[in-house]
Structure 1
Amino acid sequence: MKKYTNIVILVAIVSIGFIFTSPDNFLKRFMFGQIITAAPFPPYGLKATVVNYNQINVSWVDDSVNAMSSRKTKEFRLYRRTAYTGNWELIKTTINATHADLNLSPGGYDYKVNACNDIGCSSDSGIISASFSKDTMAPTRPGNFSLPQKEVTDSKANLYWSASIDDIGIRQYNIYRSAGSGNNPSLIASVSLSQVIYTDTSLSPVTNYYYYVEAVDLAKNKSLATATLNIVTLPLGNTGSYIRVVSPNGGECFTLPGNLHVAWTGTGVNQATAYYGGKKIFSGKDTIFDWYMTASVSPTTIGSIKIIVVDDNGKEGTSDTSDAPFAVSRDCKKESISIASTPEVPTNLKAGLVPNGNDILLTWQDNSKNETEFRIYRRVLNGKWALIAKVGPDVTSYTDPNVPPGNYEYDAHACNNSGCSAYSNQFKITAIATLPVDPVKVYTVAELRDGDLVSVGSSSDPDVYIINSHGYKRLFLNEAIFGFYGHLGGFQNIKKIDSTAKNSYRTSGLFKNCEAGDGKVYGVEISGEDTAILHWVNTSGEQAIADDPDFFKKVFCINNNEFNWYQKGLPYTSVNQIPMYSR
């Protein structure tokens, strides 16, 4: 009877082994001696998922949980290498069947894992790959930047702005400051993405300070800077008696006759007296006053307001000595000057040679609605800047005529009666009217880097591409699409290559709208010489890699403008439907 009972128990064990283990390992686990003394079986079901711009999550299944053994897995050892070519590196020893691989650089990666216990380690699992491209989309500029003078003391000032937007998320905001003239700003602080206010507590009394803010995303792309704003700090130990004239101020003009609107800032003011020239025009406790200027007031370009105040302690103070003069005229355009603001800085300044001449055409983007003029500056490279022209409001171009041969830089800013914006980006250009033509450098593959613009120089109508670190290139189908990417620097940043270098990069027609945060990948179907149709590749990431291991290495980011330019076709349900693309 005892012998028969043992047979029944053995059958039960065999049944349990069959139910809870994978079929390919069943016979091994049935061998009673091996179960007791062997290392774990290899993990299976390895997966790698790209989470964001620098993180891949890896997971797997522990096959030893089904083994008929008291020697279960003690730890897993996860290995990683640069896709296909790198050396394997142990990156994590863990008791969990998942790992978040953080702080990765753009590119492709391979993973494998094994399981270990006190007896030893299993053989390696299968290999899984994942990749992602470099994020190049800058955040939006911080909005509603303000720097209230009324909150300024002798040592601190408060800065406010509204949050920027980015496809992968904001890392921080950088605050820049300069003193005196506003030149040579330096980074004074970086604050977290959730912070949209900053208090600067390291200021000196009676000093002009200039500030601007920029956003930085998780991939360290920087936004355009806000407009530059300035304040002046109060005197030390006498904050109640200091007054700054906000309006009128430098460059403003008032038409006679009419109301002169005077506004000033200060705290603890008990009594204030305002003077226009040497004439008293106001006395009281307010910090705002309208004075009717009759036609008998003499026109001038050096009008000035002086404020004398007495604080609650009887101390007297006067207005800021840096308050600039203003104009009074019988024919200047009437402005609303309650508290004016300087214009936003113009951006995307570009310069190009005008064909068949010695002129240089400048263009820029107008970002404000309150400018009265744009001022354009030029200098010989590394020389002194000179104002060369002023153009009216809403004008976005200027032709610099008869420029002598040489290397030049251009700059511009927007101005109104309250002052001028910060300067735009500087743009370098060579006027080549009679200069000898230098030989064009042709770059080799070894000299090219991820994100370079390239073109074969010998073609009369060259195609322009951008390349990635995986050996792929994408075509800008026409000049209009290329124009959507002004941050790349335009045609002057294109590197010339030969046909051999061009052919060493395979052409990709896979795009993703990174600006909109759209996770879908689209395939390009060429429909004409310079036209195309986008098709959503409606398949899983695992299936896409199974069909084409390089699938995600071929994906290039595009922006909203380019995405909206294409016609949209029916979705592809398989990678194999994507047309071969070799242009």
Structure 2
Amino acid sequence: MFGIGLWVISLGFVVFAMGGLWVMTTHASLSVPPAPSDLTATAPFATQVDLGWVSNSTDHLGFKIYRKPTSESTWPPLENYLAHLGATVTSFMDTSVSPNTSYDYQVRAYNLLGPSAPSNTVTVTTPSNAGTDTTPPVIVTHPSLSSVTSSGGVISWAVNEAAFGAVEYGLSASLGSMTSFSSIATTAHSVTLSGLSPGTLYYWRVKTCDPFGNCARYPDIASSPLSFTTLSDGGMNDGSIPQAPSNLAATLQNNNSDLRLTWQDNSNNEDEFKIYRRPQGGTWQWISKVGGGITSFTEFGFANHFPAGTYEFKIQACNAAGCSGDSNIYPIFVQAQAASDDITPPSLVSGPTVSNVGSSSATISWSVNEPAFARVYYGTSNALGNIATSLQSTLSETQTVSLTALSSGVTYWYRIKSCDAAGNCFQSSDLYSFTTLAGTGSATISGTVRDSNGSPVANIVVAAGDTQIRYETITNASGTYQLIVAAGTWNVGVKTQREGYFNPPIQNVTVAAGAQRTGLDFQFQSDTTGVTITGTVRLFGESVPAFVWAREGLNRFKDTQTDSMGNFSLILLPNLQWYIGAGAYRNGVCYKAAPIAVTPQAGTTVTLDLVSISCPEKQEQQHDVQQDYETNLTDGTNVTAPVGAFGTSGTVTVTVAPDTTAPDTQDSSVIGIAYRIEARKSDGSLVQALSESLHLSLPYTDEALAARGISAQNLQMAFFDETQKRWARIAEAALDETAKRMRADVTHLTRFALVSAADTVAPSSPTGVRVVSAGSGALNIRWVNPGSDFHHAKLYRSTVQGQLGDLILDNFPGNAWRDAGLQNGIRYYYNVKAIDPAGNISTVDLQTSGVASATIEGGLTEGDLIRGPDGIKVYIVNGNGFKRHIFNPAVFGMYQHFKWGGIKSVSQDVLDSFITSDIYRSLNDYKVYSLLEVNEAQGLAQKQWFDITAQQFIARFYQWEQVFIVNDQERDYYQEGTPIQ
């Protein structure tokens, strides 16, 4: 009896089931899968139908959804399905329906033998959309989590209009499950998750839809979902009382005003900890409680409200069965402090203003409503990074801070902070900027930025630069800007990306020392001048949701999110070359699609194929803000923050995660991957600004630099400005070439990455292209890829010399391919193009041709043993143009027909014309393996089973013709290695 897996049968069919890759030479009992059953349909909104069904098959590849208006009698052809879904999916949300319309639905399972019979037919009528409301609900109270147990929790939130609510959740950031929508439209929502596994991390987001079908998610699809961990049920269900905590300790903090307790949790079944206090020798008083798993508590302002003396503390762990015994008792002496009831921070009265601006200094002034200490955070980008001074030593309502040791002719960004005597602080949420005076030899460039209708636009970043230097400023309320630059030639352009507009083209300007170039104006172009292109993002041949971006030149950028089926549309300016890429994070794996070059016209369609990339696991932890913070990712990324960086009290959930939605923009390319850093308070809201700087250390590899054709000196650390839709450089970042990383201090949280200037240079073209016969109706094509600035190859075929022909292979990382299905006696012309990581395509067109025939190269036949000019390595060839390395001389003793004297010596050209394959199976076994040569000198090798599906096998550019047949003795000669997944 054969195990469950992927089978290849003698008729040439491929069938998917539940486990790795197998091959059969006799017919298996394979048939079209049975039809799904129990199809149901509901229409909760005017533009949405929800489907659900029961799968009755174990050997299907997936499901296809079919729909027709009830008024029509004929179902669409089998190839015209509404959607196709994975094998484990048994629900579908159709959001392409119209209000007040009746639809019929059917579902079919399918495998490579074809589709099943249809399921039962269901008919559903969408509600009438009586209004014209197209605005989705708005979150007015952020989602919060409560009543967490070992099997669930309660999620609550509120919106600004009556709507239906649901929660999407799952074991990974891609979610996968969703509760039913509430049956009544309301503004306040509460959804209970149940049936979850104990001690398990779950991800979630809320979804709210009004009666007109307008829906909103929080967090949105482009952001990572929220998460929580269910409680462990260790001992919970047996009714046992938790173990007592231990190692209780108390310390005084914040000028001996606040009292902090810490302890050790010795159970996994407590619901809460109860905290008790008494004057030494007095009566115990229960003062507070914290949730299970929490091991610290701070009583703020304790010394301000209690007389001096010694106080004692103890802790108990409690659940439904009762409370544990006491922890150790910890005494601490407290010196009374002057009481203060002030809990109100200062408020801004006027300012800030900048004065005394010189080439290396400036003064920043503002006023607040009460005496306070002053501080300024500043830097050469809006990531800030530096602290001007410590809090000023003098309390004053007039706040003045002098900045010194600045660079000349540079734009500085800053944020102000004022703290009163009680420690209450105000910090501006707005960022401000100024530009220091330039030294000798400088010039000025000025102008106005206008909307498409001619109105001036404020707060637009304008930059002048070249490949090494960049000057930036922002427009004022009148839309005007002024750049102070060195004498020379500069590319000047608008960097802010506005929704609904295209950026104006870059202008090239030459200015002499002391010159004032005025009237360099820019005007945004409306999206209505663009054309709409459509596309699909795929993974292993299946359409999947992803983030998609497009850039043009050094100044234009667009992005979007696909729908749940991987479909997207973008409005782009026509007749210009855009580069379009995609990224996704699914089930803990990072994927990216290499950018492709597109010159859009109306009706243009594109397909983006995702491939997995190396990325670290996400780190998420609950952090006490009164403790130092540090986390390390598996790739070497390090993030640290001092006490108080995330706030003055309580806990936050800090997440550091790889981010595949971070795009290459109009002027910056991401090197490696980006990282999203966020901190959420207990109410679900984000920490917007840090009270102290966070230290960020991002690694890079020589391989990543070589792939881009750059050096470490070309790297810059940057953060993604979500408002401007651009990568903003962190000028204070330091490069450490010895440790291969960059370091910087930042005062806000967002997405960070190492970037380089956008690559617009085409890679070198592949060389050494050869085309040879590879068996009847097939040709082998081999070439040499560029040594750097290379990501993948494209292969084109034509039957007409001089014509590029059809694209037959894309996103291919290798350098040899067998092209089958050809006609013998016909000459075919091939052109190989190199694509670099930025999507640039090589420009040289050199065609190489070959004639398909019934032979293989060199007059060889299947089973021949060959060796090349080195006289060492021996290979066996098959009739499909592939060769397999005979790894160890011991293999010769396993086959009677292998004779040393029968080895044929061939030229290097003939040897190279056969594509090397290490894939094989035994004649009497149906598992397919790859042979990993560990140490040829010692005869060590491992066989690795392909634990993948047929689609994955093909999507990874393997070909069935490269599978060699071996005997059982050779199969058993190799050690079993890690399966290929």
Is the TM-score greater than 0.5? no
Q: Going by fraction, where is helix more abundant, 1 or 2?
A: 1
Higher relative contact order (CA 8 A, sep 6+): 1
Structure number with the higher strand fraction is 2
Q: TM-score if structure 2 supplies the norm length? A: 0.20
